[in-house]
Structure 1
Amino acid sequence: MAPSTHTDVMIRTYGPGQVPPLVDVAADIWADAHPELVANPGAATAGLSVPALHRQITGHLKREGFALVMAYEGGSAVGFAYGFPCTADYWFGPDLVDQVPAGARTDRLMGLCELAVRPPWQSRGIGTQMHAELLRVIAPQWSSLLALPSNRRGQDLYARLGYEYAGPYVNEPGGPQFDLLLLHVSNAS
C-alpha cells in the first residue's frame, strides 16, 4: 500500500496484554525502516535484528507502565514505538548515571525503546505523533533513548523533538556504540 498525499493517520495505544499479537507487525515495520541492519550479518551479531527485537519487546512487556503505540493509515500499520517508565540506574547503567542531569536521575524517566516508521511514510510527522502519544500515556518528566550515530533520519527526528546528546553508550561488551539522547519533557515544544 502506497501512502496517500492526504493522510488520516490513526495512533492506537496498547498495553502489555494487547501487544503479543502485534510483535510480528512491529518487527516487520522495524525491518522495513532498517534495511541496512537487516542486510548486515554483523548487525544480528550485535543484537540488531528481527529476532533480537522480538526478544527485546517480549522482555520489556513485564515492565510496569509499558506502552506500545502503533500508527495506522488506511487500516495498515505504518509505524510503531514503545517505551516504559524506568529508573535511572536501569536505563543509564553505572557508567553514565552520574553523568546525566540530576533531574534525569530523580524525576519520572521514560525509556523510549523503539520508534520506527516504514520508509514511504517517513517525514510526514508520524514519528512525532507516536512520540507525543507515548509522552501523554507515560507522562515522564524526562525521556531517553539510544540511537545509532549512523541513523541520520532518526537522529534528525530526535533533534527536532528536542533530544540532546548525553554521551556514548554500549549496552554489552563488544556491542555497537549508541548515542544516549535525553529530553527534558517540560522543555520540549
Structure 2
Amino acid sequence: MISSPPQVSLHRHGVDDIAVLLDTLADIWTDAHTGHDDVAQAGFTSEALRRQITGHTRHEEFVLIVASLADQTVGFGYGFHCTPTYWFGEQLLPAIEPKARNTRSLAGICELAVRSGWQGYGIGTRIHDSLLAALRTEWASLLAMPGDRGAQRLYRRLGYRYAGPYNAGPDGPVLDLLLLRTRH
C-alpha cells in the first residue's frame, strides 16, 4: 500500500447500466486475472463473467460499484441480496454459523476486480466498502480461489472468515467460501 492513494471516484450502477458497461467490466476482469493460470484452469473466463453478470441482474437489489481514475475505469465489484439457501447451497448450509444460516440479511459479493496496475492502492477495499454500504446487510459472503494469496490476504484484512469449501458445479473447482458479519 502506498502512503497517498490515488483519487479514485466510485459510481453506483444498477441493472439498467449493465449492457453499456459489460465490455468494460470484462476487460477489467481479464486484466485483473492476467497471470492467474488457476483461474483459467478452473473455467473462469471473461465470457463466463459476462453470462454470470447478466444472470445475476435478475436478483433483487443488484448493486454494481465502478471505480474510475480520471477517464480510466480501474475496478468494479458487484453483489446482491440473497437467501442463505441460495448462496451457500443445501450441502454447505448446515455447516454455516447458525446466525448467518438463518439470516434474512445476506449479501452475496460476486466479483471484486481491480486492473493489475492499480492493485495494492486500496481501490479494492474502497469498492468493497462501498458495496457493503449500498447493500446494507448483516452478513456478506464471497467465494475466493484458495491459491490466490493476494485476494485471500485482502479478504482476511477486511474481516472475512473461512466458512467452508464450495464446489462450483459438478466439474467446477472447489473454492473457499468466506463470510463476514457486517453488523453486530
Q: Give the shorter-chain TM-score range.
A: over 0.9
- SS of 1:35's partner is coil
- Supply the distance in 2 between the matched residues of 1:183 and 1:60 (Cα, whole angstroms): 21
- SS of 2:9's partner is strand
Say how many residue pairs are matched.
Answer: 180
- 1:125 match: 122
Q: Is the 8 A contact 2:5 2:121 kept in 1?
A: no
- 2:82 match: 86
5+ unaligned residues in a row in structure 1: which ranges?
none
Q: Is the 8 A contact 2:137 2:183 kept in 1?
A: no
5+ unaligned residues in a row in structure 2: which ranges?
none
Q: Which consecutive aligned stretches of 4+ in structure 1 deviate over 4 angstroms post-superposition?
A: none
Task: Specify which of 31, 48, 54 is matched with residue 50 of structure 2.
Answer: 54
Match runs of 1:7-22 below 5 Å = 7-22=6-21
Corresponding position: 1:161 with 2:158: yes
Q: What is the CA distance between 1:6 and its match in structure 2?
A: 5.6
Match runs of 1:28-43 below 5 Å = 28-37=27-36, 43=40
- 1:68 match: 64
The one-letter code of the counterpart of 1:79 is G
The one-letter code of the counterpart of 2:90 is P
Deviation by residue 1:147-182 (Cα, 9 ceiling, x = unmatched): 001111111110000000011111201211100000
TM-score normalised by length of structure 2: 0.93
Identity %: 47
Q: What is the CA distance between 1:43 and its match in structure 2?
A: 2.5
- Supply the distance in 1 between the matched residues of 2:126 and 2:30 (Cα, whole angstroms): 21
